[in-house]
Structure 1
Amino acid sequence: MPNPNTPKLPLDSSKCTTKQHKAKTLRIVTFVFCEENYGQILQAYALQRSLRDNYPKFDTKVIWGLPQAFSKKLYYFHRICGDSIYRFVRACKKRVLGSSIQESQAELDMRKRRGFNEFKQSHIALHASRLQHYILPQKHHYPELSGDIFITGSDQQWNDWGTAPKESLQGYAYSWLPYFTLEFAKPESTKIAYAASFGKRVFKNQAQQDYFKNVLTSFTAISTREQAGVTMLESIAIKATCVPDPTMLLSREHYCKLIDSATLDLPSNLSESIFIYTYGDSAFGGDLLPKILGKYANVVAVASTYKPSDTYNATIQEWLACVRECKLMATGSFHGTCFAIMMNTPFFLMRIQDRASESLNTRFETLLEVFELQDRMVSSLEELESKIKENPPID
């Protein structure tokens, strides 16, 4: 049964494959490069799967890679010397510096155990081109990225991540934004944004407003993951709607089949355990959280982008199984919250307290309001401990 939230394509898919014409090409531009962010990979997987299920006659692929945001020196070095020389110099630098810039063996072992690349190769149809050696911004700078339709989304692709200019548009030349706003797409290509996220409540300055108003006017359809994003776009006269995260386009049953199709090595006593999933070490003190919650039950902890002292390096299917099977989930992750809701798992969400990052809470607010679960967000360890003692189920 088609999901009504799947992005609507402005083409008749029944006419997309004939003897005279190749299948219409649909390319998804999203975060898919990480080897430890479970939500990032699953949102890319879910968006592609939903599109393929609803538009089976389209050639739908996810573009692998991410253009580098270079400094001015590297930008012009690459531009003058070319890609081959740049990569040669980079390889020589790595050999000279040795272990100082190499990954530790523990990190390599962690990535091998989690198997993100294997999951991508098995479950996500990836476009052959890899973009990590390209420079932004230059329109049509990627001749190999031709496509009839480009969809950008989801995740915080429109967050400037500190690389955007404070006062001028020129600073965007060294950020990811031209890639994720599809500036490279040819004029005849259709551009769509699905569940895009700014990760903030307001534009920082007039330069940001001018930039987005300029690049988004050529989009056929725009939707955001948070209501705050709709409000931001309305402030610059851009029409948008608020839609669910791509992970929610697929059913609980779909994810259960994905779990059950894999060989799993799960922690013992998982059904009586508190499952902790944090992204970064800012969620109530990193290593402190498992110690506190360990007073109430056995703890299984998985972390992304930092390495707690005792972590379970789960595969993607094992991570999903932990969400499904655990007694209670404590998380500071948007996608962790999405899957707890879909799996009907009792959970508590740790609010971001850092003032500089507080606007990231907009992701949680819309999600919790839709499901009337605002009481699941906690602001301190003391509040978390108090609520864990109550542990009410969710409907």
Structure 2
Amino acid sequence: MKKIGVITHYFGSKNYGGLLQAYALCKFLNERGCYAEQISYDSSYKKSNKSLRLLTINEIKDRIKSIIAPVCYKFSDYKIKSSLLQREKAISIFRTAIPHSKTIYNDITIEKSNEEYDIFITGSDQVWNIDWYHPPYFLDFVSPKNKKISYAASISKERLTMSQISLFKRSLSDYNAISVREESSVALLENVIKMPITYCLDPTLLLSEFQWNDICSKRLCQEDYIFCYFLGKNLVARKLAMEYAIRHNLKIITLPHLSGHYRRCDAGFGDIQLYDISPGQFISLVRYSKFVFTDSFHAIVFSHIYKREFVVFSRNAISPMNTRISCITKLFHTEDRYCDTEEKLSIAYIESLEKIDYSKNQIDYIKKREESISFIDDVLNL
């Protein structure tokens, strides 16, 4: 049996969606008779601490947060810090249960993983987001004797610069098969790489509702509630959630300070603020909610899986089109749930939405799921 190494945003991740897609791909592959596990790749370790290089946008943000966060704690409830540690623990327990390599690799040692695996898969999630560029996510370390595949890799860009085009052309030229998570990325890469580019589903959508029930926890709140899952700081979205909750006599459940640091936008927001929440409990919060307000791709995914009512917003008020959100809502014909214009950012608009008819919104998804499975079967010879 060939051994498959999957590289994605797994090691040390505190992101619910990222870990659930990492879990899903391994589970799906292993249930089809493969031996697949996540490669424990520590992307924070650099080849040379003395070398000069330009920091990515997200690295700059992380450094700023590390400076600002301690100051924010002084002006907020210091108990938040211990609560966030509880959240990290709950997430960590789930993370370690996902099949993964015992060896922790870094930029220097990642080549040694060629001795452990026959096939390498990069994806899903934003492994090809240039703002978070790390060569191993492009499988630059893989030996020519081993297979290189991308599964539902996300670029999260609508267009590429000349230097980015050059990078993709250089990095993907020797792949055995390429698939991306957003339909718009197909055309983007077909102009760069002279090989077929396939649009596939995020791994979370490869598993059925019944498979997700295996790890979904029991109901956490017996009262009817809105689940607000906001990774960004959009205050308009939070205000609309509060208005909707008041009108419909619903509680608001939130997971505050998802950045891992105190955020003023989360202070006092929500009737029930939860910290000690595992990915299985995250799924439960979606499953038993009356309505989901979010800015998260994977919160939308689980809203569809469990047939929940939802609306989704851009991370920071109105911003350029989010390809991930546009793609997933188009697949399920729920584009009207994306509140991405001034007109849609109103309680009147949200109240005017008809209930989602999930019985009519499954045809394209079922077809795309079959195509995604066929892609995996074909490239792995299953």
Give the TM-score normalised by the residue count of structure 2. 0.76
Aligned-pair CA distance for 1:65? 3.3
Is 1:299 paired with 2:252?
yes
- Supply the AA of the counterpart residue of 2:220: L
- Supply the AA of the counterpart residue of 2:130: D
Cα distance, 1:255–1:109 mapped onto 2, change above 3 Å: same
Q: What per-residue deviation string (whole Å, max 9, x for no partner) do you get for residues 86-132 of structure 1?
A: xxxxxxxx9xxxx78x9x7633432424611101222x11111223x
In the other structure, the counterpart of 2:186 is 230
Is 1:365 paired with 2:322?
no
Separation in 1, partners of 2:355, 2:212: 21
Separation in 2, partners of 1:213, 1:266: 48
Cα distance, 1:69–1:194 mapped onto 2, change above 3 Å: same
Q: What per-residue deviation string (whole Å, max 9, x for no partner) do you get for residues 133-181 of structure 1?
A: x34xx7x7531453200000011111111x6xxxxxxxxxxx41x1100
1:61 and 1:125 in contact (8 A); partners too? yes
Aligned-pair CA distance for 1:210? 1.2
Cα distance, 1:105–1:381 mapped onto 2, change above 3 Å: farther
Is 1:184 paired with 2:141?
yes
In the other structure, the counterpart of 1:378 is 339
2:229 and 2:296 in contact (8 A); partners too? yes
Aligned-pair CA distance for 1:234? 1.0
Cα distance, 1:285–1:236 mapped onto 2, change above 3 Å: same
1:116 and 1:316 in contact (8 A); partners too? yes
CA RMSD of aligned residues (A): 3.0
- Supply the AA of the counterpart residue of 2:251: N
Is 1:217 paired with 2:173?
yes
Residues 337-352 of structure 1: pairs in structure 2 closer than 5 A: 337-352=300-315
In the other structure, the counterpart of 1:159 is 129
In the other structure, the counterpart of 1:197 is 154
- Supply the AA of the counterpart residue of 2:284: A
Counterpart of 1:274 (choices 226, 243, 265) is 226
Separation in 2, partners of 1:73, 1:120: 28
Is 1:36 paired with 2:4?
no
Separation in 1, partners of 2:91, 2:343: 31
In the other structure, the counterpart of 2:43 is 67
In the other structure, the counterpart of 1:245 is 202
Aligned-pair CA distance for 1:70? 4.8
Counterpart of 1:393 (choices 355, 371, 379) is 355
- Supply the AA of the counterpart residue of 2:309: P
Cα distance, 1:70–1:330 mapped onto 2, change above 3 Å: same
2:87 and 2:278 in contact (8 A); partners too? yes
Instruction: Decide which moves more: 140-149 or 245-254.
Output: 140-149
Q: SS of the counterpart of 1:75?
A: coil
1:34 and 1:41 in contact (8 A); partners too? no
Separation in 2, partners of 1:290, 1:47: 33
Q: What per-residue deviation string (whole Å, max 9, x for no partner) do you get for residues 303-326 of structure 1?
A: 421542253222211111111111
2:39 and 2:100 in contact (8 A); partners too? yes
Separation in 2, partners of 1:38, 1:384: 28
1:346 and 1:392 in contact (8 A); partners too? no
- Supply the AA of the counterpart residue of 1:392: E
Aligned length: 323
Separation in 2, partners of 1:344, 1:215: 39
Q: What per-residue deviation string (whole Å, max 9, x for no partner) do you get for residues 6-61 of structure 1?
A: xxxxxxxxxx2xxxxxxx2100000113553210100000011111111x2x3311
- Supply the AA of the counterpart residue of 1:74: K
Separation in 1, partners of 2:47, 2:110: 18
Aligned-pair CA distance for 1:293? 4.0
2:7 and 2:41 in contact (8 A); partners too? no
Aligned-pair CA distance for 1:368? 1.2
Aligned-pair CA distance for 1:332? 0.5
Cα distance, 1:145–1:127 mapped onto 2, change above 3 Å: farther
1:284 and 1:381 in contact (8 A); partners too? no
Q: SS of the counterpart of 2:230?
A: strand
Aligned-pair CA distance for 1:287? 5.7
Q: What per-residue deviation string (whole Å, max 9, x for no partner) do you get for residues 207-229 of structure 1?
A: 11111111111111111111111
- Supply the AA of the counterpart residue of 2:92: N
Q: SS of the counterpart of 2:246?
A: coil
Q: What per-residue deviation string (whole Å, max 9, x for no partner) do you get for residues 277-305 of structure 1?
A: 11132x34576455444423311112421
Unaligned ranges ≥5, structure 1: 1-15, 17-23, 78-93, 164-174
Between structure 1 and structure 2, the one with the greater Rg is: 1
Counterpart of 2:100 (choices 121, 126, 137) is 126
- Supply the AA of the counterpart residue of 1:48: C
In the other structure, the counterpart of 1:49 is 27
Aligned-pair CA distance for 1:353? 5.5
In the other structure, the counterpart of 2:4 is 26
Aligned-pair CA distance for 1:73? 5.4
In the other structure, the counterpart of 1:12 is none
- Supply the AA of the counterpart residue of 1:149: I
In the other structure, the counterpart of 2:282 is 319
Separation in 1, partners of 2:147, 2:103: 20
Identity of matched residues, %: 26
Separation in 2, partners of 1:113, 1:156: 23
